[in-house]
Amino acid sequence: MAISLQDIIPQINAEIHGAISSAEIDLVSIDSRSMQNNAQTLFFALSGSNYDAHDYISELIDKGVQNFVVTHIPENLEGKATFYIVSNTKIALQQFAAYYRNLFNFPVIGITGSNGKTIVKEWLNFLLSPDYNIIRSPKSYNSQVGVPLSVLAINKMHNLGIFEAGISTLGEMQTLEKIIKPTIGILTNIGTAHDEGFANIGEKIKEKLQLFKGVDVLIYHKNKSIEQFLPCIALAVTPFTKEQGKTFSWSFKDKEADVFISKSVVLDKTHLTVDYQKESFDLKVPFLDDASVENAIQCLMVLLYFGYSFATIESRMELLYPVEMRLKVKNGINNTTIIDDSYSSDFQSLKIALDFLESQKQHKKKTLILSDIFQSGLSNDELYARVSQLVIANKIHRVIGIGETISNYKTKFVNCGTFKSTDDFIEAFDSLTFENETLLIKGARSFEFEKIVTLLEQKTHETVLEINLNAISHNLSYFKTKLKTTTKLMVMVKAFGYGNGGFEIAKLLEHLKVDYLGVAFADEGISLKISGIKTKIMVLNPENTSFPSIIQYELEPEIYCMKGLNAFLKIAEQKELHHYPIHLKIDTGMHRLGFQERDLPVLIETLKNTPSIKVKSILSHLATSDDLENRAFTHEQIALFEKLSQRIMDELGINPIRHILNTSGISNFGESQYDMVRLGIGLYGISNDDKEQKYLENVSTLKSVISQIRTIDKGESVGYGRRFIAEKTTKIATIPIGYADGISRSWGNEIGYVMIKNQKAPILGSICMDMLMVDCTAIPCTEGDSVVIFGENPTVKMIAEKTHTIPYEILTSISQRVKRVFYRE
Ligand SMILES: *Cc1c(COP(=O)(O)O)cnc(C)c1O
């Protein structure tokens, strides 16, 4: 994009503070972490319940950004940059995008529906890219913010747009329609699930249809409950003709549809017979499941509408492939971290991947492995000049280019090696070094970069714990909505982030600006500090011997007894510290750690005249905050906390942070939030309250694969002790995960199950140390298929109930030999 600021201002009704430069803007950004921000950036300071980008403006000014769309000028920044003040920055971004969209006039496909939007978009891109310069939403950017950002990436070379729109409540589609302005509409599977945000399914359909009110044609799966609402957007069901047809429908059942399709399964493909305008032809798609077949047909409809020949349609559709949209973080060989984005390569998604690399970086050194880039809408000279600028802005140390085209532009990059093909790279692999660095692997599908990922990935067994970083952010915002804006937040990342991974989660929390992190032992805090975490860290249970290293790494100890206090004071005085922060723990009824009422006189006396330390906070811990039957006990704990902490504060004349609530405390005793709360299990998506559970997103999914399948006869047994005897012929799958990985034996013997292809497979017989066996008689599965041990279903909570423990124990028991993979949606 290249657009002058003068043109933008009237579009967003901004009041200007500062000088407007005559320079053009070539990037719109909302992400303060992006290293792509520079003097040509227009930054929109969005804010949400847990996030306010106005807080990052001063950092951005230091990085050279000069133009900001804001709701107010942050303190002390007046005159330091140019500010465009609007009443709502998100709306301003949307207005700007709508204006920008209107500068272009080419066909735009708009996709909405409940399921399949991203897949249809990616497949259409694949099917149409031989003939068009396509601009499409990157990843699944389909929200009120994602759509404007997608549209703002259009440039003058594009001649076809494909954008998806997702909504969660009434009124949102109106806004997206103005920004996308589709000329061709696709309504994917609408789903019957009752969504939050809509009164009923009719209301949901009507709202989704708003996207299509200006289209030349709407493509949809013929369905009466949708058709009754078409008049609302001035469309009628008419037989399709190229000249006037406004709807273009397909069906497996209804011969009235414009396209009638019959399907059958032959081996591993679905064969479709397509009847269209009195002609008929056959094609194959490489999928068996209903959802994929439906999505493929939506794409087929677009090809028919565009007038492609049956032969072309047939040959292109046969090549459709499964879509993987997630950026994954994996552990690689020689202490490398891999960011795997091996399924797409276009300029927009490269920018997103580089931002992700920056937010995740765990090593100073960064290498980019990049294939040829397709469909940028730019000439190769211009494209690789821009890629080179991006690489420099992101301080990438080394580039490995793979492909004929990128090889020709080798000289554009510093420290660059190139290979003509993926196979050439693999051949040379042994002569290359990869160590102590982060590797971003980004390639177009045809380059099969998954082969490179396999080479670089650390070899462990096939079981992984996948951690959804978006869900963590979501859960954090949810709990923030329960707090006053002034209440500080400590997040507990003890026990390796409740089993989910310490550093990665701490890094995300640091970005989300939590006030404190809490760990159990000094070494956990030290390893976070060594990895570069700067957020303050409280150590709950420091051993006296760890005090010197606590001080060396600037950790803040919790002090819970006189012996500890005296030991810490001695070291603090020796090191001549001044006001070193400590946290006083009071025992109000948990009877685990902490000063009791009778200890207070000595404690207070000791703390008088100790300038080497400072009581930063006073805390206590609740024993039954999750159990409302025991609420009287909790109220007693809180009352005692109030009394004792007040006494310490009065007698010492201090005003520390006070905190007592853990997750269930926040849910049930919010009125006692004091100055800070300590969030733990809730962040990881688990609530003790079923109502609240609905608002949290699942964070961790434990996955494995089927190692072997066999069929046993009636009367035969499975596993140690022959605890399962087959009553009929039974198909058994062996999964390489056992109690040494943290799966309790009490989940075996048909009490528990795993999910294979979305179906329950009961665990048969005793769980072994490294393996378990399941019944998959009714499931069409093969060796190598993926298995879910827990996640959305079964949930950790369900397993905990059935095995008579608590979710905390299950999460923290997952052995460290299980690889952790972090991803963002
Ligand atoms: C673990 C812990 C928390 C967090 O508890 P959750 O129930 O996981 O929210 C809070 N405070 C202290 C002292 C803890 O040990």
For 549-576, the pLDDT digits (tens) are: 999 999 999 999 999 999 999 999 999 9
Ligand 1 atom with minimal separation from the 662 CA: 9
At 354-400, the pLDDT tens digits run 988 888 767 889 999 999 988 677 889 999 999 999 999 999 999 99
pLDDT band with cut points at 50, 70 and 90 for residue 531: confident
Rounded CA Rg of the chain: 30
Calculate how far, in angstroms, residue 668's C-alpha sits from the geometric centre of ligand 1.
15
The pLDDT of residue 361 is: 66
Of 345-349, 677-681, 786-790, the range with the lowest mean pLDDT is 345-349
Confidence band (pLDDT; 50, 70, 90) for 7? confident
* Higher per-residue confidence, 198 vs 121: 121
| Residue bearing the CA closest to ligand 1, atom 13 | 621
- Decide if pLDDT at 5 tops 90: no
Quick check: 461 pLDDT over 60? no
Given a cut of 90, whether residue 606 has pLDDT beyond it is yes
Q: Which of 480, 494, 585, 797 is catalytic?
A: 494
What is the predicted pLDDT for the residue at 330? 85
**Beta pairing class for 772-775 and 759-764:** antiparallel
pLDDT of residue 363: 87
CB 120 within 8 A of CB 145: no
Instruction: Note the CATH architecture for domain 700-824.
Output: Beta Barrel (2.40)
Mean pLDDT, residues 581-586 taken together: 98
- Say which residues have a Cβ less than 8 Å from residue 342's Cβ, sequence separation at least 6: 441, 442, 443, 449, 450, 452, 453
Q: What does the block give as tokens for 776?
A: 């998959």
Ligand 1 atom at shortest distance from the alpha carbon of 678: 10
Whole-angstrom Cα distance, residue 428 to residue 431? Answer: 6
Alpha carbon distance 786, 782 (integer Å): 9
- Please report, in angstroms and rounded to a whole number, the separation of the first and last CA atoms in the chain: 26
Domain with CATH 3.20.20.10 in the chain: 466-693
Distance between Cα 540 and ligand 1 center (Å) = 10
Q: Which residue CA neighbors atom 4 of ligand 1 most closely?
A: 680
Check: CB of residue 161 under 8 Å from CB of residue 106.
Answer: yes
Tokens 């798609």 sit at which residue? 285
Residue range 712-768, pLDDT digits in tens: 999 999 999 999 999 999 999 999 999 999 999 999 999 999 999 999 999 999 999
Closest ligand 1 atom, CA of 585?
Answer: 13
pLDDT average, residue stretch 605-614: 95
Counting runs of H as helices and runs of E as strands, what totals does the chain give?
Answer: 27, 43
List the CATH code of the domain at 327-458: 3.90.190.20
Main-chain dihedrals φ then ψ at residue 302, nearest 5 degrees: -65, -40
pLDDT above 90 as % of the chain:
75
CA of 49 to the centre of ligand 1 (A): 23
- Strands 184-187 and 108-112, by their bridges, are parallel
Q: Which among 519, 678, 806 is the best mutation to test ligand 1's pocket, defined by most ligand atoms within 8 Å of the CB?
A: 678
pTM above 0.75, yes or no: no
The total of other beta-carbon atoms located within 10 Å of residue 809's CB is 14
Residues in the ligand 1 pocket, defined by CB under 6 Å: 492, 540, 621, 662-664, 678-682
Range in 165-179, 311-325, 766-780 with the lowest mean pLDDT: 311-325
pLDDT at 194 over 70: no
Give the model's pLDDT for residue 195: 66
The pLDDT confidence band at residue 245, using thresholds 50, 70 and 90, is low
Q: How far is CA 486 from CA 492, 677, 678, in A?
A: 19, 11, 14
More reliable by pLDDT, 677 or 454: 677
Contacts of 641 (CB under 8 A, 6+ apart): 586, 588, 620, 658, 660
Q: What does the pLDDT read at residue 460? A: 56
Locate 603 and state its tokens: 């404690």
- How many residues can be counted in the chain? 825
Q: Ligand 1: which of 584, 662, 686 to mutate, most ligand atoms within 8 Å of CB?
A: 662
Q: Which of 492, 500, 696 to mutate to test the pocket of ligand 1 (most atoms within 8 A of CB)?
A: 492
For the residues of 426-488, what is the DSSP string, one character each? HHHGGGS---SEEEEEE--GGG-THHHHHHHB----S-EEEEEHHHHHHHHHHHHTTS-TT-E
Average pLDDT, the chain: 92
Give start-end residues of each CATH 3.40.1190.10 domain in the chain: 104-317
Atom of ligand 1 nearest to the CA of 679: 9
In degrees and rounded to multiples of 5, residue 687 shows phi and psi of -125, 150
For residue range 323-359, what is the model confidence (pLDDT) as tens digits? 776 788 888 888 899 999 887 778 888 888 898 888 8
pLDDT digits (tens, 9 = 90+) for 73-123: 999 999 999 999 999 999 999 999 999 999 999 999 999 998 899 999 999
Is the per-residue pLDDT at 50 higher than 80?
A: no
Mean pLDDT calculated for residue range 466-480: 93
Q: What is the pLDDT of residue 360?
A: 74
Asked whether 187 and 112 are in contact (CB, 8 A), the reply is yes
> Greater confidence, 525 or 455?
525
Indicate if 720 belongs to the active site: yes
Q: How far is the CA of 103 from the centre of ligand 1 (A)?
A: 54
Q: In the chain, which residues fall in CATH 2.40.37.10?
A: 700-824
614: CA distance to ligand 1 center in Å?
A: 23
- For the CA of 625, the closest atom of ligand 1 is 7
182: closest CA among 228, 135, 141, 149? 135
Of 502, 506, 536, 538, which is closest to residue 519 (Cα–Cα)? 538
Residues of the chain with CATH 3.90.190.20: 327-458
pLDDT at 603 over 60: yes
Degrees, nearest 5: CA angle 473-479-485? 105
For residue 289, the model assigns a pLDDT of 84
Tell me what percent of the residues of the chain surpass a pLDDT of 70.
98
Quote the CA–CA distance of 557 and 411 in Å, as a whole number: 53
Asked if 321 is an active-site residue, the reply is: no
Distance 255 CA to ligand 1 centre (A): 61
Contacts with 207 (C-beta within 8 Å, 6 or more apart), sequence order: 167, 170, 171, 172, 173, 198
- pLDDT for position 333: 87
What CATH architecture is 104-317? 3-Layer(aba) Sandwich (3.40)
Q: Start-end ranges of CATH 3.40.1390.10 in the chain? A: 3-94
CA of 621 to the centre of ligand 1 (A): 8
Q: What is the topology classification, in CATH, of domain 3-94?
A: 3.40.1390
Residue 658 has pLDDT above 90, yes or no: yes
Give the range among 237-241, 505-509, 789-793 with minimum mean pLDDT: 237-241
Q: Give nearest CA residue, ligand 1 atom 6.
A: 680
Q: For domain 466-693, give its CATH number from 3.30.70.100, 2.60.40.60, 3.40.50.10540, 3.20.20.10.
A: 3.20.20.10
